[in-house]
Amino acid sequence: MTPDRRSPLRLTRHLRRADIVRMALPPLKGPFTVDTYQRLGELGILGEDDRVELIDGQVVEMSPIGDRHASCVRRLNGLFARQLLDVAVIDVQNPVVLGQRDAPQPDVTLLAPRADAYPHHPRAQDILLVIEVADTTVAYDRDVKLPLYARVGIPEAWLVDLERDRVQVCREPAGGRYTSVRAVSRGNTITPLRFPTMTVAADDVLG
């Protein structure tokens, strides 16, 4: 049999990494309840890798996580794990349910310990401390998410502002806002409200 000397089959063009992109999120017109929001995931309309959260009934697409942001979250996770592993549940970038139409995803959440490890998303009353890390989203975290945490009575929230190189420590929620706000800069320390024996250096948070 005569060998087939035709040229091997070739792709019409080289495949580049840029060609492999996930389709943009479909427009989702709310308002949604937490239950219907979760149903969007079950139906495959929202995927596990979609960075979204539910705020006031609207599906909000979150910014991509940059290097500085990710590094800060790792530092916080390590700091708390070393000192609080037996007295708190440390949750990283997981949803919390704060009402019928709110399911944000804080960067770090310290939860009251429970033997069942929270088979359902935690509620406001479970949260001891909530932390948002911001490099490009300071205004959104400060003006939208912190007031939400205050409205549901979370006792303490930190906003790690990587651009300004400081940590805002927010306490005493009342009237939909935190009435005590303190900016902690490098060289200073923070003692979490619910963990008075722990001291966190701002330098260790900011890196």
Helix (H) or strand (E) holding 122: none
What DSSP string runs through 47-109? -TT--EEEETTEEEEPPPP-HHHHHHHHHHHHHHHHHHTTT-EEEES---B-BTTBB---SEE
Mean pLDDT of 11-39: 64
- Looking at per-residue confidence, does 9 or 93 come out higher? 93
Which 8-state DSSP code applies to residue 27? P
What the chain holds in terms of domains, given with CATH numbers, is 17-61 (no CATH), 67-206 (3.90.1570.10)
Instruction: Specify the pLDDT at position 26.
Output: 65
Could you give the CA distance from residue 149 to residue 2 in angstroms, rounded to a whole number?
76
Q: What is the pLDDT of residue 195?
A: 97
pLDDT at residue 37 greater than cutoff 90: yes
Strand ranges across the sheet with 156-161: 89-92, 108-111, 127-134, 156-161, 166-174, 177-185
pLDDT at 145: 98
Residue 25: pLDDT band with limits 50, 70, 90: low
Residue 21 pLDDT > 90: no
Most confident of 3-7, 13-17, 36-40, 183-187: 183-187
Residue 13 has pLDDT above 50, yes or no: no
Q: Tell me the mean pLDDT in the region 10-21.
A: 39
- 25-34 in b/e burial notation, b at 16+ Cβ within 10 A? eeeeeeebbb
- 7 versus 114: which is more confidently predicted? 114
- pLDDT tens per residue, range 57-102: 999 999 999 999 999 999 999 999 999 988 999 999 999 999 999 9
pLDDT value, residue 28: 83
Structure token digits, residue 54? 């539910």
Structure tokens at 112: 């009251």
* pLDDT tens column, 109-125: 999 999 999 999 999 99
Mean pLDDT of 125-144: 97
Bin 153: left if φ > 0, else alpha if -120 < ψ < 50, else beta: left
Place of tokens 């935190």: 178
Q: Is the pLDDT of residue 10 over 70?
A: no
- The mean of the pLDDT values for the chain is 89
Q: Does residue 173 surpass a pLDDT of 60?
A: yes
Q: Kindly indicate the confidence band of residue 19, based on its pLDDT and cuts at 50, 70 and 90.
A: very low
Question: Which tokens in the block code for residue 79?
Answer: 């700091």
